[in-house]
């Protein structure tokens, strides 16, 4: 395409397909090992062990996202700083990126991509001059290593809390399982499970263990490789003893009445095509990333193997009792295409090394701050013994605070990277029926 | 009283042996024990207290470790339930053994027909009041007062609602999952209606058609075997299921006369008599009262009478489907006329025997997610042969039947209603076609019933209002059930609602009345079928409060 035509297309707001670009080894190294190629800013107030509170937060305001700054400034939460550490992803994912990334290109429309194989599709450093840089970051997130090829959270506790009183209104206990059908790198088969007639991308299976009124409920979500296609979702209701098909388009529904929309899952659980994505720059920010085993952990709930969950603190016990570390972060905005969407925009603070999204801020349609989502990440080598060396940033704690409703939902994970826990047979409708009670 | 299941144990043991060398020990995993205590207090307009049901339920799951035989995911599951309904002590003038009717059907229609002159009022709780009827109804609707108060503690040990073992093993690349024991097996995709969901009989005496089927299905001793084959080049998922119901046959419980819920008032009809005037010209009949029911012909508990079903189920793209076939017994009673020695007159010792004929069912179901409307469509259909329906002459006729349901589910965000949770809109149309219909059948040749559920969620889903509507087209009967539930925490649930019915105005001719010179429509005994469960309950408007503590 001639430059003049490109300019005209951009001026008219028309996307065009991007061309695949060669990826250099230097770009791979910079993308996966940023702390070897760049220096972490040396800020005295952010030395490991420092505590950021209402009294000193203004000195480090530049290193906090606006919502977290506000919480600390208001005295809702104090942040303890930890040492910045490398969360190196699994070598197989890096190798897949090296092999396939030069073939990745965006389609003409948002949500369209050609990215064969596996790995990070766009490892190049994002550029403010690239009008589709935000979209590329979104794809890097969606095709990120995330939980790896499969994982289980067993168990997974969710607490709904009144932020003023700290009263726990409801507690849910789940088991969650994840399985990538395609873009697999570490667990056989790679890169795809076959047969896969509907070209599934990812499966998520959840079973509710408590409380009694929703016990034995099972949820199965199939995401397709085609981003534009809505998920297929199935619900087994214990009291009906059958599988119901769900209409899956209402991703802004409050999941089980918690403060979390389905669209919020893992930082962003919707379709790429549902949003306009904008890259807003790179920052060094404090992120909730830590070594689980080094934290002051909760004494309850008790696990038979001695595992302890992350504790919660601050106003309403709505905040994880963890350390935060200074990390290279991409600031990514998503604005819903649908004018009736309740969200005005989300600010995603994307970890540059792992492409997980440990911090999110949601604004309402009036531009007011609405919710803020913290997903605490543990290094796998400092978690359960079986997670050591798995190259996965382990989702380990979460907090979704609805600042307008003064309400929060917090979560405690026991994440396990073990393919035996998430066999393909678990992600079928028939499994829901066979294991239903 | 009902006979016990003395043949049950050998069946169960034989099947357990057939599972192979399944050596089990208690797993390190903890035993899971949950349950609830519940009080349901209902008041009926003009009647007073209609339910004071107190229920305790325990649900126990014990994982087991196995060694040898290749079995895994082995667990034992039990559901125990104890119910005491205090309405028979607190409102004993209206319900229970002393609940006298002025005339048959006084709880749903006026006393204005010849039919009510010919039929006596139903005898409440016959086994407390009428030894002849109790004997005639033996094995079915023969509860005594204690059975009404504590329905789970009967000869079938219904307080053990479920007790089964689960186990899985690999068969080649597939997985075989077995569930053996007392259980519920649910087929189909339909709420409220039972098109394919016909494996377990149902206890309508608990709360007519309005309780969750899970709570009113009568669990049976069965083997369920699923061969899970997973995806292949065509289907995303595929499964074969075999269900073998080797339990003694049990029919639907329609509610004994005198119970607070007796669907289509069948219990009182079954415990009534037809009377002949003193002036009747045939000597043996003059001044006599002949019981409506002579005997209940329950099928013998034998291997030949066990019930068996097969299901093939799969996922193809955006559609999930099943094909089903089931050989079972009709769970609703069929009345077989007993002719007397005098042509045109019934036998002196009872007009009808109750039978439960063998039925073959062939059906299927499909659900489909439509992305354009972001809605789910559900279709379920069944064709049966062998069913028997009521008719005026001879009491019954065998006819093929076709039933189907088309359902539509959609989650809707409605910001104007002030909730961040989606509202659920669910609509269904149930159709029933009697394929060999006769003009003297009180059931319509073609009939449809529509249902609508609209449910909202507030206060982080802890406050949930809902509206349920059901309309029977041919009966011109409607049920409206608005309710609101509140869960202050993980344990407590409060549900408050109304259940209002309209209808019950259809009459149907009766040949006995016609023989007495009135060929116009009558209330008794056939219009109960024409008006259906909604219309016949037209005087059962209730305000209902349920309080549950779960743990």
pLDDT tens digit sequence for B345-367: 999 999 999 999 999 999 999 99
Domain-by-domain residue ranges, chain B? Answer: 8-550
Name the band, by pLDDT with cuts 50, 70 and 90, for residue A4.
Answer: very low
Name the band, by pLDDT with cuts 50, 70 and 90, for residue B521.
Answer: very high
Is a pLDDT exceeding 90 seen at residue A110?
yes
Residue A55 lies in a domain: yes
**Residue-level pLDDT at A293:** 98
Is a pLDDT exceeding 90 seen at residue A117?
yes
Is a pLDDT exceeding 60 seen at residue A8?
no
Is a pLDDT exceeding 90 seen at residue A17?
no
Average pLDDT, chain A: 93
* Contact predicate A242/B190, CB 8 Å: no
Which CATH number describes the domain made up of B8-550? 2.40.160.10
Please name which of B355, B206, B272 lies closest in space to residue B523, comparing C-alpha atoms: B272
A-contacting residues of B 358-377, CB under 8 Å? 367-369, 371, 374-376
Name the band, by pLDDT with cuts 50, 70 and 90, for residue B310.
Answer: very high
* Contact predicate B427/B408, CB 8 Å: yes
Among B239, B367, B422, beta carbon nearest to A245: B367
Name the band, by pLDDT with cuts 50, 70 and 90, for residue B25.
Answer: low
Is a pLDDT exceeding 90 seen at residue B199?
yes
Residue A212 lies in a domain: no
Mean pLDDT of B391-414: 94
Angle subtended by helix axes A91-100 and A25-32, to nearest 10: 140
- Backbone phi, psi, residue B415, to 5°: -55, -30
Helix (H, G, I), strand (E, B) or coil at A253: coil
Q: Measure the CA angle with vertex B450, ends B365 and B375; round to 5°.
A: 55
Question: For the residues of A260-304, what is the DSSP string, one character each?
Answer: -BGGGGGG--S-GGGEEEEEEEEEEEEE-EE-GGGS---S-S--T
Mean pLDDT of B55-68: 91
**Residue-level pLDDT at A248:** 75
In angstroms, the Cα distances linking A117 to A190, A393, B478 are: 9, 22, 58
Cα separation, A354 vs B503, whole angstroms: 65
Is a pLDDT exceeding 60 seen at residue A412?
yes
Cα separation, A337 vs B288, whole angstroms: 81
A205-253: pLDDT as tens digits: 999 999 999 999 999 999 999 999 989 899 998 888 889 888 877 788 8
B32-46: pLDDT as tens digits: 999 999 999 999 999
Question: For the residues of B259-274, what is the DSSP string, one character each?
Answer: SS--GGGHHHHHT-EE
% of chain A at pLDDT higher than 70: 96
A-contacting residues of B 266-325, CB under 8 Å? 313, 315, 317-318, 320
**Residue-level pLDDT at B527:** 97
Is a pLDDT exceeding 90 seen at residue B403?
yes
Is a pLDDT exceeding 80 seen at residue A5?
no
Q: What is the ipTM of this complex?
A: 0.85
Among A200, A247, A433, beta carbon nearest to B411: A247
A166: domain range?
19-175+256-420
A48-77: pLDDT as tens digits: 999 999 999 999 999 999 999 999 999 999
Residue A405 lies in a domain: yes
**Residue-level pLDDT at B371:** 87
Residue A13 lies in a domain: no
- CB of B409 within 8 Å of any CB in chain A? yes
Count of domains observed in chain A: 1
The pTM assigned to this predicted structure is: 0.89
Interface test with A, best of B175, B378, B490, B548 (most A CBs within 10 A): B490
The structure tokens listed for B10 are 């050998």
- CB of A1 within 8 Å of any CB in chain B? no
Is a pLDDT exceeding 70 seen at residue A16?
no
Measure in Å the smallest separation between the Cα of B499 and chain A Cα atoms.
21
Please name which of A48, A41, A32 lies closest in space to residue A324, comparing C-alpha atoms: A48
List Cβ neighbours of A194 (8 Å cut-off, separation of 6 or more). Answer: none
Interface test with B, best of A111, A162, A197 (most B CBs within 10 A): A197
Name the band, by pLDDT with cuts 50, 70 and 90, for residue B428.
Answer: very high
The structure tokens listed for A118 are 């596996």
% of chain A at pLDDT higher than 90: 86
Cα separation, A397 vs A311, whole angstroms: 9
Diameter of chain B by CA atoms?
A: 79
Measure in Å the smallest separation between the Cα of A98 and chain B Cα atoms.
31
């Amino acid at each position: 395409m001639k430059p003049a035509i490109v300019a005209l297309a951009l001026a008219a707001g028309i996307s065009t397909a991007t061309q695949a670009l060669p990826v250099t080894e230097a770009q791979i190294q910079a993308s996966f090992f940023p702390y070897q190629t760049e220096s972490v800013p040396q800020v005295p107030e952010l030395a490991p062990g420092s505590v950021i509170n209402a009294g000193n937060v203004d000195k480090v305001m530049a290193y906090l996202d606006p919502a977290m700054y506000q919480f600390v400034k208001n005295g809702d939460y104090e942040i303890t700083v930890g040492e910045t550490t490398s969360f190196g992803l699994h070598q197989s994912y890096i190798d897949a990126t090296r092999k396939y990334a030069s073939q990745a290109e965006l389609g003409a429309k948002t949500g369209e991509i050609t990215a064969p194989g596996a790995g990070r599709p766009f490892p190049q450093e994002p550029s403010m001059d690239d009008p589709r840089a935000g979209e590329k970051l979104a794809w890097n997130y969606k095709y990120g290593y995330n939980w790896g090829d499969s994982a289980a959270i067993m168990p997974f506790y969710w607490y709904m809390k009144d932020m003023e009183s700290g009263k726990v209104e409801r507690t849910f206990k789940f088991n969650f399982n994840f399985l990538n059908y395609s873009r697999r790198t570490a667990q056989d088969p790679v890169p795809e499970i076959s047969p896969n007639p509907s070209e599934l991308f990812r499966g998520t299976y959840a079973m509710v263990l408590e409380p009694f009124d929703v016990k034995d409920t099972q949820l199965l979500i199939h995401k397709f490789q085609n981003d534009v296609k809505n998920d297929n979702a199935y619900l087994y209701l214990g009291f009906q003893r059958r599988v119901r098909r769900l209409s899956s388009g209402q991703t802004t529904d409050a999941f089980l009445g918690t403060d979390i929309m389905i669209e919020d899952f893992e930082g962003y659980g919707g379709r790429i095509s549902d949003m306009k994505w904008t890259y807003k720059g790179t920052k060094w920010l404090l992120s909730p990333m830590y070594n689980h085993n080094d934290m002051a952990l909760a004494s309850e709930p008790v696990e038979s193997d001695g595992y302890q969950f992350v504790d919660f603190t601050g106003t309403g016990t709505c905040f994880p009792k963890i350390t935060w570390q200074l990390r290279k972060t991409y600031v990514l905005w998503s604005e819903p295409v649908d004018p009736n969407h309740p969200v005005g925009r989300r600010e995603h603070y994307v970890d540059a090394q792992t492409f997980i999204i440990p911090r999110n801020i949601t604004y309402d349609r009036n531009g007011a701050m609405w919710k803020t989502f913290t997903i605490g990440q543990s290094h796998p080598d400092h978690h359960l013994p079986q997670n050591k060396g798995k190259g996965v940033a382990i989702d380990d704690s979460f907090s979704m605070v609805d600042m307008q409703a003064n309400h929060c939902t917090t979560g405690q994970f026991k994440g396990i990277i073990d393919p035996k826990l998430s066999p393909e047979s678990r992600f079928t409708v028939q499994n829901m029926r066979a294991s239903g009670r | 009283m009902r006979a016990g299941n003395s043949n049950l144990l050998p069946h169960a043991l034989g099947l357990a042996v057939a599972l192979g060398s399944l050596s089990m020990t208690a797993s390190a995993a903890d035993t899971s024990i949950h349950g609830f205590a519940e009080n349901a207090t209902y008041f009926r307009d003009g009647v007073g207290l209609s339910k004071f049901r107190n229920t305790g339920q325990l649900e126990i799951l014990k994982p087991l470790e196995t060694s040898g035989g290749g079995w895994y995911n082995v667990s034992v599951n039990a559901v125990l339930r104890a119910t005491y309904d205090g309405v028979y002590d607190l409102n004993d003038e209206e319900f229970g053994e002393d609940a006298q009717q002025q005339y048959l059907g006084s709880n749903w229609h006026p006393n204005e027909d010849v039919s009510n002159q010919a039929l006596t009022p139903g005898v409440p709780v016959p086994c407390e009041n009428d030894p002849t009827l109790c004997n005639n109804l033996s094995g079915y609707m023969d509860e005594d007062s204690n059975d009404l108060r504590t329905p789970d503690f009967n000869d079938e040990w219904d307080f053990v609602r479920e007790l089964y073992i689960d186990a899985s093993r690999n068969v080649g690349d597939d997985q075989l999952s077995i569930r053996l024991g007392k259980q519920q097996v649910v087929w189909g995709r339909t709420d409220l209606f039972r098109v394919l969901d016909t494996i377990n009989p149902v206890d309508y005496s608990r709360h007519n058609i309005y309780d969750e089927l899970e709570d009113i299905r009568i669990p049976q001793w069965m083997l369920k075997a699923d061969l899970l084959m997973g995806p292949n080049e065509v289907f995303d998922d595929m499964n074969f299921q075999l269900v073998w119901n080797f339990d003694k046959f049990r029919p639907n419980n329609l509610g004994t006369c005198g119970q607070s819920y007796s669907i289509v008032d069948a219990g009182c009809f079954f415990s009534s008599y037809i009377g002949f005037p003193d002036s009747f010209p045939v000597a043996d009949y003059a001044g006599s009262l002949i019981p409506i029911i002579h005997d209940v012909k329950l099928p013998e508990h034998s291997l030949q009478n066990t019930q068996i079903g097969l299901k093939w189920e799969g996922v193809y793209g955006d559609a999930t489907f099943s094909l089903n076939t089931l050989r079972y017994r009709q769970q609703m009673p069929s009345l077989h006329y007993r002719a007397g020695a005098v042509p045109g007159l019934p036998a002196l010792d009872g007009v009808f025997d109750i039978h439960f004929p063998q039925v073959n069912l062939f059906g299927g179901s499909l659900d489909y997610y439509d992305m354009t409307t972001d809605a789910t469509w559900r279709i379920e259909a069944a064709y049966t042969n062998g069913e028997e329906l009521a008719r005026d002459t001879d009491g019954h006729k065998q006819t093929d039947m076709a039933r189907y349901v088309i359902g539509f589910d959609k989650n809707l965000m409605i910001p104007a209603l002030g909730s961040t949770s989606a509202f659920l809109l669910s609509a269904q149309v149930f159709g029933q076609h009697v394929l060999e219909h006769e003009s003297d059948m009180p059931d319509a040749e073609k009939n449809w019933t529509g249902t609508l559920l609209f449910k909202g969620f507030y206060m982080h889903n802890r406050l949930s209002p809902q509206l349920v509507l059901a309309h029977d087209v041919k009966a011109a009967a409607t049920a409206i059930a608005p309710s609101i539930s509140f869960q202050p925490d993980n344990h407590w649930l409060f549900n408050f609602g109304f259940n209002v019915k309209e209808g019950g105005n259809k009459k149907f001719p009766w040949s006995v009345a016609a023989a007495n010179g009135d060929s116009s429509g009558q209330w008794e005994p056939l219009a109960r079928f024409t008006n259906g469960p909604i219309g016949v309950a037209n005087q059962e408007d209730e305000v209902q409060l349920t309080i549950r503590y779960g743990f």
